[in-house]
Structure 1
Amino acid sequence: MILIDSHAHIYTKEFKEDIEEVISRAKDAGVECIYMPNIDHESIEDMMNLADKYPGYCVPMMGLHPCSVEKDFEKHLYEVEDLLGKGHFCAVGEMGTDLYWDKTYFEQQQEAFKIQCELALKHNLPIVIHCRESIDETIDLVRPYSNRGLTGVFHCFTGDIKQAEEIIALNFKLGLGGVATFKKGGLEPVIEKVSLEHIMLETDSPYLAPTPNRGKRNEPAYVKLVCEKIASVLNKEVEEIGEITSQNSKTLFINP
């Protein structure tokens, strides 16, 4: 069984007490790599410490999360730019837009998005996109950069088949996680119609734990539950889903 968790924040405080056990359970579940998106300047040290402790297994990205974008976002992007210039990252992320919590800084989010797209193109890296309640707006933002060769993944995809097809046409992947297992998650039509070559598996740990662990802390081992759900919907072997989606992650991300 081969699995990859393409999106997990396992460096956060939720894992301070038992990270070694979390990693052990992930390995026991067949997870051979965990990709870690950055959040902001405060998360960098903890993320890099974990990457140093588990080299090649916990692989870091570098970016600025849209919920951390405020008036002074430019100074944080200078740090992102500086660190990207030193290498050691597989992607630019987590970046994107968010209209769920607060729309105050949406203009700044869009500007930060464009800057990070330019950084990704400069360093020949893919991007990892957060787009909560803003899929259509984010597709519009991506389009001109896709035309220039930028690629990446729309993490935690929760849209419909039309949006999925638009994203795929831009040469971007769909990141499917715990929501795919929710009774009212609404993703079965997407899973049924989208080719597996366009799908990556993720947990978004510690958030959005899949059924039957919904409401609990999520962790990379639970990516197996997402894999099992997709296999059930498609009536395919779990091993096949794991192998194809894992290869998609390996192909997209640049291992430092």
Structure 2
Amino acid sequence: MARGFIDCHCHMSANEFTQVRKLPKSSTLLCTSYLKDLNDVILRAKKAGVKALVAVTEGAGEFERVIKLSKVYPGFVFPCFGIHPLQGSGQDLHSVKIQIGLDFTPWFAQTTQERDEQIKVFIKQLEISKELDLPVNVHSRSAAKVTITTMKEQGIRQALLHNFAGKPSVAMEGVQAGFCFSFPPAVVRNEQRAKLIKQIPLEHICLETDSPALGLNKDVRNEPQNIMICCEYIAKLKGVSLDRVMEVTTQNAFRLFSKLKV
């Protein structure tokens, strides 16, 4: 088994990771900042010890780009197809594979009808994952209880609940069902999440960055190289070594995503 980190949830097909050339010094543009080339992002991740990225989509429009990335970086970028809960209506689900979930935050789901629509799309994607015998990589916000209950009712066995923010008691229901949980760098600022991480057994925790979002500084683009921040924080909360967290979370990732070959 490869020694290193697995970023189990990042968005490498996001617009923030497009190739943009550096502006010349002679440029008259006021803004001199620019996005680094995606290849530089990948190189920094590898230098930081990342062995694989699970590249998650949010909509069908990103599928082709993720497939291309997996071909450009074989054995490092692994596609994770799916539709974000806020983009589920009206999209073709026949080729959807993994990344799914529910988002019941008030500004997105104000009515029972809106929540029910999300649940329908969620269940449809869960059914597809079972047909293809693939794990699910789940977005859950303000819907932890419903998300875990629905997955259990649908007979899901292999699941990662990314950036999980539910109650510890709800998380333990997921642990009992065999699910895993992951947390991005931004959680180091959240005391509630610290209590949650302390209670979830390390054998049910994976690492993620959720790049380009949820880094330490919300105004700075997050990258997979920041996976060490997650590892250090979990090690501190658990009172174990960095090597122990790296070893166990990587084992968890390989067990969950059986198609990872690095």
Residue in structure 2 matching 1:248, options 245, 249, 252: 252
- Alignment TM-score, normalising by the size of structure 2: 0.85
Residues paired across the two proteins, number: 237
RMSD, aligned α-carbons: 1.6
1:44-84, CA deviations, whole angstroms, 9 ceiling, x for partnerless residues? 111111111001100001221111122x24xx11343xxxx
5+ long unaligned stretches in structure 1: 81-91
Aligned position for 2:214 = 208
Residue in structure 1 matching 2:38, options 3, 19, 24: 19
Structure 1 residue identity aligned to 2:248? I
Deviation (angstroms), 1:214: 4.1
5+ long unaligned stretches in structure 2: 20-36
Residue in structure 2 matching 1:78, options 89, 94, 103: 94
Aligned position for 1:96 = 101
Aligned position for 1:87 = none
- Alignment TM-score, normalising by the size of structure 1: 0.87
- Secondary structure of the 1:33 match is strand
Q: Distance in 1 between matches of 2:166 and 2:259?
A: 29
Residue 137 (str. 1) matches residue 137 (str. 2) = no
Deviation (angstroms), 1:93: 2.5
Deviation (angstroms), 1:243: 1.1
Deviation (angstroms), 1:13: 1.3
Query: Are the equivalent residues in 2 in contact too, given 1:158–1:185 (CA < 8 A)?
Result: no
Query: Are the equivalent residues in 2 in contact too, given 1:196–1:245 (CA < 8 A)?
Result: yes
Deviation (angstroms), 1:180: 2.6
Q: Distance in 1 between matches of 2:7 and 2:237?
A: 20
- Secondary structure of the 1:164 match is helix
Q: Which has the larger radius of gyration?
A: 2
Aligned position for 2:193 = 187
- Secondary structure of the 1:216 match is coil
Residue 157 (str. 1) matches residue 164 (str. 2) = yes
Q: Distance in 2 between matches of 1:232 and 1:192?
A: 10
Q: Distance in 2 between matches of 1:8 and 1:23?
A: 12
Residue 117 (str. 1) matches residue 126 (str. 2) = yes
Identity, in percent, stands at 31
1:80-100, CA deviations, whole angstroms, 9 ceiling, x for partnerless residues? 3xxxxxxxxxxx322011122
1:85-142, CA deviations, whole angstroms, 9 ceiling, x for partnerless residues? xxxxxxx322011122411632221111111111111111111111111111212211
